[in-house]
Amino acid sequence: MTKKRKSRGRSKGGKGSGNMVQCTNCGNLVPRDKAKKRTTRVSLVEHTLAKELRAQGAYIAAPSTTKTYCVSCAVHYGLVKVRAKTDRRSSR
């Protein structure tokens, strides 16, 4: 059997089966170690107002949200790129 990627598309190493998570976009169940995670900070205050408040010395909290995507949604949104055949087995 040919091996397309060195990690077989996962990051679990020698562990057994892992937990499943839902894709944020399509709801597909994906193994937690295979899902692509994106953490973004969400501002609760409008940008211009936050700029003025920061100038006066106020601290503005921006909580971070983590979204998990399945591989097909991550490729669709451009979060991961399709690599050439020679580059696939490299351990990026």
**Residue 64 belongs to a domain with what CATH number?**
3.30.1740.20
DSSP assignment, residue 24?
A: T
Residue 71 included in any domain: yes
Name the pTM for this structure: 0.74
Residue 81 included in any domain: no
| Distance from C-alpha of 80 to C-alpha of 36, rounded to nearest angstrom | 8
Residue 55 included in any domain: yes
pLDDT digits (tens, 9 = 90+) for 20-65: 999 999 999 999 999 999 999 998 999 999 999 999 999 999 999 9
